[in-house]
Structure 1
């Protein structure tokens, strides 16, 4: 330990990777009370050992930093000289605020270039300037708004035939071989060719640009040796000069196709925004951004799918699953492991104080495996409903502009392989990754198959099949999964319990207490949300309990009248917007009627964790109250039962009369009960009360009583009008903006969007009181502008 401390002190003395915080004022603890190490730097042993160039990191970044997500989500790496950020909400918060967290170092060399290498670059007049990836405001958004149109889904459609043609031609080359290295024989070249076509690079110049593009990656994100730096410098210099020559050739024909010519044409009217140096730099950056991320992303996607044969078989049989499978591949095994930012002023991430000048490495691949965001995050689930919320493309105003081009390519490649080589399998091999902090994909991907089983030999017509592309929100069918009703029985008055299992007996997705699923009511077009009430540790089944509501809008009545043991139904989820805080010291659970369903799972979790808790369960009569026997057996005198017909009613004023800052309250039940609880908790700490609603308070949208309003989409650079007879969600989806949605009643929380400016008329029952008062987010399916004035959204 003393040796390690001396080594770290020596690093600080030499000015290498020193901790950027002055701890002299803290004594032996940090300001948050945590102990510091022997040399005064708050670096744990694991943080000190963190090495993003190690094979363990390269093989599986999320697993490599699992300890950090769980124990030390923001830590300083002495080896790298960066603060490492690992949790979803923290990474997203950094992306969200590009003023506090500048993208200016996004392309900074991880390994500083030697004087000799810099001298070589100078001989080529190398002058890479800021691009869309790493420039600050206000320059960034001005350029982004001008240059984004060719990246819109509508504009990308005309590239689809070219991508399909390339995919077909390359698979043709090895379809009868029975074995191929997909990286070398297809996945490296096709995305680069697509990128060059998108940019508008003439065919005769493509081969040379292919040769130089990898050097730019190594130069920026890698750790080349001094000797390698000299070779890389020559390649990057040649890349720079060639990009300039091609750009000049394009200027001679500015009306031709491609994004670079689009920029050249815009330059005439906006010379101060789109400069010569900017176009030159974007020529290089665009090739790398469009090429390597997609090449690696496709290789990663095929690898993870073939490692999960059941998922591979499903998309082979049902191509409509491919778009959401692509999102899950990007989440689970994306091509971008991390992004970088520079802290511009003293700030905090979580409870960690960061001074201005700190450098951040946000491990987005770790964020994509955060259990706080993604249920059973390590499970690869092609029907995951929030897979598209992955941060592989970044988030906010610097989200990758080429995300939909990459999605298009991945979908087309997977469609081609699943149609023509459904019997393909991974060959035995060891996977190697280019050592760098950010781009990640296997250098080789060997696959094998029996050519005699190629489907097109018996049915050439399959080559004419074509699945529709879907860029944006996944379809409901793509995220729903079939389940079998193993058991359907009445467990109390008008309460039906369903036990659901997988048709093939395989495990169902894991979930956490408070989660719910959506169940589709046959062909009625109705889907309803029901809380899970089984044991989260049992992945063999999911259980829900359904009250037959006399005022049913069709869901509960249909299920009671139509569902029988052995039936097949489709569900979506699980997802959780009613998550229990596992660190709570004391919890009061309050349930009314069918509201016991999420509470029962939460109480079981509280007991398992050793949390001090009590349950207060109210109902019309004991005969109408489900799970009473098992609740009494499991919780004993912690359970308090109130049956109205016995004259026994819960006195909320007495129960909650004394606020306690160490106690959390979780409640689910009728709206009247929840309203009463809210009144009794007015003097409690803010957000001590957590509620789950199972009825919407929304009525039909009445255009005569609504006002139209405008929304400015800050990231997209467009402004939309939300008509008086239209929801914000409808307006966004009409403009092909990616927004998840499900219940459309303000109940499920899936359609949340972030609001940067403007007053909100909150109409949902998802957000807490303080979240509504913060005015920073809204449910787009129901909430509107409070005064009919413009809202600015982070979309």
Structure 2
């Protein structure tokens, strides 16, 4: 394999890994050819043991670097990986299935002898061919068409569990997690359920051949297996051609081959047959093995699922995030560009490490910790993103949920046996080769209650609903922070430490049918959470209910933490502005900036000192940097003067009422983009009134779909119904998590997230509340 990107491709102003004499360490750390980069080995050591941890240094210091050992540029941060996935023109998938270790001449001769002619598939095709084929062949993968397969998956799973449930010890991979995904894949494809052992050898050989680093001698043996796999796939295709009424996906592919041979040619059918057998089961098998290892290692999570099966869908997503089977994928730059501030030359080959992005704390609070209550776990990149996102993602979810539901119900006392976990050495796929477990058969619950063997907790196909994700908490202390403001300290209901959080983060408290968001304002190193709840007379009742029932020991439910108001720690200085209860995130930001030793000032505005929470703590911890603007003392904040005195390179962070935010937008309109960051603490009314709304049409560029959004349906709900995974949180236009990129069309913006400038640009919209102007067609980058 010719390596396009190499150290000679250093962009102008760059330098080699040795740096220059006298270069400060901080500057050296920014070089894309640092010593850490030079030492990076994707086939051994830390990366093979734990890829996310192995690239922690990269996420923190050098998120894009060149690896001379690999010949690839490595991308490690969430936002950068997502940006690469999003643009499949600039970042072509053409090298996704390219052998990462060049084939030897001897291995090539072996493959030639088998007539091996692997062509491109949907995984590594460029546009426009890719989307034409994807649209033609995606019908079987839609959620509605997968629902009927749940009982087949459950039947296969129960048969395997029945065979080992009284044994007391088993390797889950050998006993269930390899064969069931393979049988499901074969059933889905319409392939006879024969020769499972042969297929296992073939698929392992294919994985090592493409993503591994076999020796020259191993390459020859692997080439024989790959060649035999190729011939086997060809024989299956010929048999299936004689079954014109077959119901499998490959039967449909063969019919499309006859109907539209220019889009689905003969060579594509053979290549896809071979690729899909691996893709449809190997990754699910590895992910399932990783899931059981992870959950049984984190015993509290396993016990919580046993007690509450409704947690299973999100637990699967968190396992896919924390220990997913797709570690990394590949792309190739078709033009010179920049990623994460680093110049990338044309032709550069990229290793985008999803496992690293999935633990990036810039997107996932406390990202290196496993938490089945994480309410944005579905944001993980394990399935990829954009037009090349895995079409079989919902099959994998379905299988993993059923595995977990059946095992937690029938063997809640399951434990990991003592063992050393081993993994197939390669850049891109990960999952333990074996997962040995043990249990006492005498304690099997179904011995006392045989009906447990046939329980059925059915989950809808698709991504989990955020409303089903909530941890149990209780109020530890209640106190009066100011007039009309209660301070609450919240602890985990089972006495565990709550997840870490970053300045600006919020949680959602659920009580008696009310779900309300509150910024965290305590010490970030505490195992508990502190919030402040303002009694809003004109609100919708949530704050009033908390004021009525709050008492020590009261159990509630909580979602989060999430952070959509994050500090940019690279600014030269900071001005923090709070209006009323908006002090809560600002207080946490001040604490963090003080700990970092940064330059900051605080302006706190309120009607009166009696109504302003945390004044004593602010005075004690931030006194010299604090200005209090109390209306009853005739001390009003002169926002114009505050903005005018902002040092060059400074940033403003504000939280408060609409009028304050609006005035700050006016005052900062001519300042550099990114100067003002704000968060509202109340939303506008965004509920749909179908009698006043227009239906509109949406074209999804990356997915090749066109949707009709009815007058009584939000764009967000229309996207979710079509199988598009999209984050959502508040559904009020308040948080920004459901933002989508707009390519064409005029937007009726109804959120309180975007600035005036951003609205005028018409390039982004919040799908939960904003709509098309007068029913005009929109084109989105989804």
Is the alpha carbon distance of 1:621 and 1:295 closer, same or farther for their aligned partners in structure 2, counting shifts above 3 Å? same
Which deviates more, 768-777 or 403-412? 768-777
Shift of 1:411: 0.5
Where does residue 5 of structure 1 map in the other structure? none
| Partner secondary structure for residue 695 of structure 1 | coil
CA contact (8 A) 1:746 1:766 kept: yes
Where does residue 64 of structure 1 map in the other structure? 54
| RMSD, aligned α-carbons | 2.2
1:17, 1:668 → 2: CA distance? 46
Q: For 1:20-31, what aligned pairs fall within 5 Å after superposition?
A: 20-22=8-10
Shift of 1:312: 0.3
What stretches of structure 1 move > 6 A for 4+ residues in a row? 14-17, 27-30, 33-38
Counterpart pick for 2:741 among 754, 757, 771: 754
| Partner secondary structure for residue 395 of structure 2 | helix
Shift of 1:205: 5.3
1:681, 1:724 → 2: CA distance? 36
Give a deviation string over 1:155-194, Cα, whole Å, max 9, x none.
Answer: 1122212211111111122211111111122212221111
Is the alpha carbon distance of 1:16 and 1:623 closer, same or farther for their aligned partners in structure 2, counting shifts above 3 Å? closer
Where does the alignment leave 5 or more consecutive residues of structure 2 unmatched? none
2:168, 2:118 → 1: CA distance? 44
Where does residue 110 of structure 1 map in the other structure? 100
Q: Tell whether 2:418 aligns with 1:428.
A: yes
Q: Tell whether 2:203 aligns with 1:216.
A: no
Where does residue 794 of structure 1 map in the other structure? 781
Where does residue 544 of structure 1 map in the other structure? 531
Where does residue 737 of structure 1 map in the other structure? 724
Counterpart pick for 1:767 among 739, 743, 754: 754
2:649, 2:601 → 1: CA distance? 14
Which deviates more, 172-181 or 783-792? 783-792
Counterpart pick for 1:226 among 216, 230, 233: 216
Where does residue 237 of structure 1 map in the other structure? 227
1:88, 1:122 → 2: CA distance? 40
TM-score (norm 1): 0.94
Where does residue 76 of structure 1 map in the other structure? 66
Where does residue 694 of structure 2 map in the other structure? 707
1:567, 1:35 → 2: CA distance? 52
| Partner secondary structure for residue 501 of structure 1 | strand
CA contact (8 A) 1:482 1:503 kept: yes
Where does residue 523 of structure 2 map in the other structure? 535
Give a deviation string over 1:619-658, Cα, whole Å, max 9, x none.
Answer: 1111111111111011112111111111111111222224
Shift of 1:293: 0.4
2:715, 2:390 → 1: CA distance? 24
Which deviates more, 690-699 or 586-595? 690-699
Where does residue 279 of structure 1 map in the other structure? 269
Q: Tell whether 2:471 aligns with 1:481.
A: yes
| Partner secondary structure for residue 271 of structure 2 | helix
Counterpart pick for 1:397 among 372, 387, 391: 387
Counterpart pick for 1:626 among 609, 613, 617: 613
Counterpart pick for 2:346 among 342, 352, 356: 356
Is the alpha carbon distance of 1:357 and 1:734 closer, same or farther for their aligned partners in structure 2, counting shifts above 3 Å? closer
CA contact (8 A) 2:665 2:756 kept: no
Give a deviation string over 1:106-126, Cα, whole Å, max 9, x none.
Answer: 000011111111111111110
Shift of 1:769: 4.5
Shift of 1:674: 1.4
Where does residue 705 of structure 2 map in the other structure? 718
CA contact (8 A) 1:686 1:770 kept: no
Q: Tell whether 2:197 aligns with 1:197.
A: no
Shift of 1:271: 1.3
1:95, 1:362 → 2: CA distance? 9
Shift of 1:400: 0.5
CA contact (8 A) 1:495 1:547 kept: yes
| Partner secondary structure for residue 614 of structure 1 | strand
1:322, 1:25 → 2: CA distance? 51
Where does residue 4 of structure 1 map in the other structure? none
Q: Tell whether 2:432 aligns with 1:442.
A: yes
Q: Tell whether 2:559 aligns with 1:569.
A: no
Give a deviation string over 1:512-543, Cα, whole Å, max 9, x none.
Answer: 11111111131x3x31111111111112x111
CA contact (8 A) 1:336 1:392 kept: yes
1:26, 1:339 → 2: CA distance? 26
Where does residue 779 of structure 1 map in the other structure? 766
Counterpart pick for 1:599 among 575, 582, 586: 586
Counterpart pick for 2:540 among 531, 553, 565: 553
CA contact (8 A) 2:654 2:677 kept: yes
Q: Tell whether 2:402 aligns with 1:412.
A: yes
Is the alpha carbon distance of 1:24 and 1:741 closer, same or farther for their aligned partners in structure 2, counting shifts above 3 Å? closer
1:42, 1:135 → 2: CA distance? 29
CA contact (8 A) 2:66 2:73 kept: yes
1:621, 1:493 → 2: CA distance? 9
Where does residue 462 of structure 1 map in the other structure? 452
2:584, 2:757 → 1: CA distance? 26
| Partner secondary structure for residue 327 of structure 1 | helix
Q: Tell whether 2:494 aligns with 1:504.
A: yes
2:171, 2:481 → 1: CA distance? 57
Where does the alignment leave 5 or more consecutive residues of structure 1 unmatched? 1-13
| Partner secondary structure for residue 268 of structure 1 | helix
Give a deviation string over 1:333-377, Cα, whole Å, max 9, x none.
Answer: 000110000111011102111111100000100000000000000
Give a deviation string over 1:574-602, Cα, whole Å, max 9, x none.
Answer: 11111111222211111111111111111
1:617, 1:315 → 2: CA distance? 44
1:60, 1:15 → 2: CA distance? 26
Which deviates more, 97-106 or 744-753? 744-753
1:307, 1:21 → 2: CA distance? 44
Where does residue 133 of structure 2 map in the other structure? 143
| Partner secondary structure for residue 9 of structure 2 | coil
Is the alpha carbon distance of 1:167 and 1:550 closer, same or farther for their aligned partners in structure 2, counting shifts above 3 Å? same
Which deviates more, 284-293 or 723-732? 723-732
1:333, 1:105 → 2: CA distance? 24
1:217, 1:500 → 2: CA distance? 48
1:665, 1:351 → 2: CA distance? 23
Shift of 1:25: 7.0
CA contact (8 A) 1:205 1:246 kept: no
Counterpart pick for 1:89 among 72, 79, 83: 79
| Partner secondary structure for residue 569 of structure 1 | strand
Shift of 1:774: 4.8
CA contact (8 A) 1:343 1:355 kept: yes
Aligned length: 776
2:41, 2:416 → 1: CA distance? 29
| Partner secondary structure for residue 104 of structure 1 | coil
| Partner secondary structure for residue 624 of structure 2 | helix
Give a deviation string over 1:453-477, Cα, whole Å, max 9, x none.
Answer: 1111111101121111233342345
Counterpart pick for 1:338 among 328, 341, 344: 328
Shift of 1:212: 1.6
Where does residue 155 of structure 1 map in the other structure? 145
